[in-house]
Amino acid sequence: MSELRQIAAVCRIGLGSLRERYATALVVVVGMACAVGVLTSMLSLTVGLTRAYLGPRDATRAMVWAGTSNFDQSRELHPDLIATILDAPGIARGPAGAPLADAEFLVRLPMDGFADSSLQLRGMGPAGLALRPEFRIVAGHLFRAGRRELVAGVGAARRFGLTVGSVVRMRDGKWPIVGIFSCGSDIIESYLVGDAVTVMAARRGPGFAEVIAQLVDARAYPQFQTWLTENPALAVSVERKTDYDLRMVGSNTAFFTRMAYLIGAIMALGALFGVVKIMYAAVRARTREIGTLRAIGFGATPVALSVLLEAALLGAIGALVGTAAAWLLFDGREMWVWGAFKLRVSPSLWVLGLVWALVTSLIGGLLPALRAGRLPPFEALRAE
């Protein structure tokens, strides 16, 4: 009999005996499900936050800001420089021929009953709305240019209990909320939005934070960047919006990601010791069976592989159970971390959980598999 047929035969026999060893097998499945479920549940936060920041059109957009600061509140892009930036090559044009680029800023506002600076206000102009075609008013109406009016994203409205008619205190008095908007689950749904020029005048700000520009295509970025960074009239930083958002999200979620992998590794270590113990018990339970197979001509490699494959199968079942539980409990649940977003147990997390469990199970099953493969046939047949 070929070695491949031997492996298949031994695996069938081993899996058939699982019915008699279901209690110990269940320990491996449950342990792996807990380890993978916790890991994928925690990583669903970083996946959801990244998805909230990254839009499908961001690959053809660029960010321009003064100096090298990464934080909106510490930037000062003077209004006189905006026209020069909008002259850069590669910027797409709207139906009326105007550049599809908007000068914006983000400010933090105190909110009664919440931590200071937990509510954020984004100032934008008409081009900012054109850059966000998913922007929709779901209640009330849009703010009007030159008026002290704001609209609230659906996430901010839920979080802070804002409705049409609510007021927000600014430096120059009260600003009414005149509308509620949605924007395709973009992170901007966590903000208040108002006319940039009016808000900047009210807060007596020195300038804008950045310019967001829609490029004609992704290939236009190098020329756009070179023109701006080499212009002697400007001292600006330029970055693709996808790179900028990934960098900012990465810096914000690095702690959660590290904690997820640390806790996942600790639980995986516990699951690994469980796999080792259970698979050693499986080898002991199958000692007579293994000895019989060896005595009639089955090689050591098929026997060892059958133990490894059994461990991998139990681990994979545990991974699917754990990830499915995380998906049922957390996928789509709204959270608030620097803004409203939904937890996501993405396909990549399903794959990660499966790989995590398979690696853990294979490492845990390695020593028991070697023990099974090296078991002398006559010693096994004499075992009680």
Q: What is the pLDDT of residue 349?
A: 92
List Cβ neighbours of 205 (8 Å cut-off, separation of 6 or more): 105, 107
- The number of angstroms, rounded, from the C-alpha of 93 to the middle of its chain's C-alpha atoms is 33
DSSP states of 145-173 as a string?
A: TTSS-EEEEHHHHHHHT--TT-EEEETTE
Q: What is the pLDDT of residue 178?
A: 94
Q: What is the pLDDT of residue 341?
A: 80
Q: Which three-class secondary structure state does DSSP give residue 233?
A: coil
Q: For the chain, where are the E strands, in sequence order?
A: 61-66, 101-109, 119-124, 136-140, 150-153, 167-170, 173-182, 191-195, 210-214, 236-240, 334-336, 340-342
Dihedrals phi, psi of 132, to nearest 5 degrees: -125, 80
From its phi and psi, is residue 173 left (phi > 0), alpha (psi between -120 and 50) or beta?
left
Q: How many CA atoms lie within 13 A of 180 on its CB side?
A: 15
Pairwise CA distance, residues 150 & 173, whole Å: 13
What is the amino acid identity at position 147?
R
List Cα–Cα distances, 63 to 229, 245, 372, in angstroms. 12, 10, 61
pTM greater than the 0.95 cutoff: no
Contact 228, 77 (CB under 8 A): no
List Cα–Cα distances, 237 to 68, 228, 229, 262, 337, in angstroms. 6, 8, 7, 35, 27
Contact 119, 339 (CB under 8 A): no
Q: What is the pLDDT of residue 284?
A: 72
The CA-to-CA distance between both ends of the chain, in Å, stands at 29
Pairwise CA distance, residues 350 & 327, whole Å: 9
Contact 61, 220 (CB under 8 A): no
Q: What is the pLDDT of residue 106?
A: 84
Q: Quote helix, strand, coil % in the chain, to nearest 5.
A: 55, 20, 25
Pairwise CA distance, residues 48 & 249, whole Å: 11
The 8-class DSSP code of residue 106 comes to E
Pairwise CA distance, residues 316 & 288, whole Å: 27
- The stretches in the chain having pLDDT less than 50 are 113-117, 383-384
Q: What is the pLDDT of residue 112?
A: 55
Q: Please work out, in degrees rounded to the nearest 5, the angle formed at the alpha carbon of residue 57 by the alpha carbons of 54 and 62.
A: 80
Q: What is the pLDDT of residue 114?
A: 46
CA Rg value for the chain: 30
